[in-house]
Amino acid sequence: MRFSVLKILSRQVYRSTIKKRSTLWLIGIFNLMLLFALVSGYQILTTQQHIVDEYSQQVRHRWEKSPDKHPHRMAHYGYVAFRQKFPLSFFDFGMDSYVGNAVFLEAHKQNTVNFSEASLSNGLLRFGEISAGLILQLLLPLVIFFWGFDLISAERENGTLRILLTQGISWPELIIGKCLGLFFVSLTIFAPVVVISLILLFGNEAISENWQALGYFAILVIAYLVYLLIVSLLAIFVSAKSNTSKSALTKLIGFWLFFTLILPKISLVAGQSLYPSPSKVEFDTAVEQELLALGDSHNPNDPHFRALKDSLLQAYGVDSTHKLPFNYGGYVMREGERLSAETYKRHQAKLVAIYQKQQNVVRLTALCNPFMAIKNLSMALSGTDYATYHDFENQAEAYRYKLAQTMNELQIKLISNTTKGPSSKPAIISRKHWAEFPDFSHQFPAFVQVFQQEGLAILSLIIWLSGLYFLVTLSSRYFKAF
């Protein structure tokens, strides 16, 4: 292909499109919508960050100032872990509004993450939220189709297409050149988004602790550029294949409806039908039943813990738990915590595996649907997908388990194992031990983890762009000039 020809064609498309009053109105409206979406999303992000910081400090202060007491009481006093928002979450809200933000951590029990935006808002949220990512994924392609549906079909109808081709311009040059022109027109909407997003990103105080967000943003910009190029190329290709502009517009609207509305819904329903997941009641019941079968650490007559007691007495050569060189109650609580945590993790892993299978059905459709590819990749890079939320759940559970077992270890080592009497030392320890236990710190997934999770989405964009290019090259001999 000749670069000079591509330059002339793209410039002609850009100038002829941009000078239309309807185009200028659309560009203005879209830029205002995107500005509103970005600013409102950023305000939600900063508000959430301030709330999390404030309440995290309160939780930590109350934990450290808790008076001297028995360590097992502190294990049940518990802790509250808050989910941080990723610095890029203002760009694409993803699942953020539908998943919890705080979880109470206590011994022997795994609580759910609560206080989602959806649970605290009115019913209007079910209609969705307007984010910059949603506008770029869903609405901008429709505008690109509107701009590009007649770029070749109209010239065929007017008879000017034969004149272009007789001047030595090949079909691939014609399609790629007009595609580039249409792509540059779309940049009048996308470029301001990039600039504003970058300003907001640098204005966020949390960026100093999450510099990887800049790398995510760079990949996000590249992904959207590829997506817009795919949409532009698809619009020109359909225009070249259609006999009339009307049929081209009908086909492109059909493509938009199928890719953005029908196929995602079908894949979601298919995933849930093929791999049904248990309800919360069923999940909690299954965990509770297995725990009861394994043993109850609070029941001294439980067979499992009675056998544990007998083995300890035999190992230390004593006839009573009070004669053991450590606190027997703390030892039992530690074993009970281990059993309950392992049981919960086992059932949680099975549940997550079901969710993963459901998601894989949706991800597989991304190979034939660029909209799902950019949607999944955008949520992952913005830190608003399910994988990021589940990673927080794992971190919170790991912290809960560490807290409970640390309190159990303190009980084993520092609480007397002898029978209490009037002159006995109270079964409490100094509150300095509370301050020694580290605070909860939410860490976001690593760069490699995100790319492994969304490898199919990246592959889909590459396949679509290269596939359309080769399709244009190979099928150009079958295009008609009249």
Which structural domain range is residue 277 located in?
3-417+429-478
The pLDDT of residue 260 is 92
Nearest to 393 by CA among 437, 434, 352, 450: 352
Between the alpha carbon of residue 412 and those of residues 328, 405, 432, the distances in Å are 7, 10, 17
Is residue 423 assigned to a domain? Answer: no
Is residue 244 assigned to a domain? Answer: yes
Beta strands in 41-194 (DSSP E): 79-82, 102-106, 109-110
Is residue 155 assigned to a domain? Answer: yes
For tokens 């311009």, what's the residue?
Answer: 169
Is residue 422 assigned to a domain? Answer: no
Instruction: Assign residue 359 a region (left: φ > 0; alpha: ψ between -120 and 50; beta: otherwise).
Output: alpha
**At a CB cut-off of 8 Å and minimum separation 6, what does 334 contact?**
405, 408, 409, 412
Is residue 424 assigned to a domain? Answer: no
Residues of the chain with pLDDT under 70: 1, 118-128, 419-426, 481-482
Is residue 233 assigned to a domain? Answer: yes
Is residue 337 assigned to a domain? Answer: yes
CB half-sphere exposure, 375, CA atoms < 13 A: 22
The pLDDT of residue 372 is 93
- Look at the chain and report how many structural domains it folds into: 1
| pTM listed for this prediction | 0.90
Is residue 43 assigned to a domain? Answer: yes
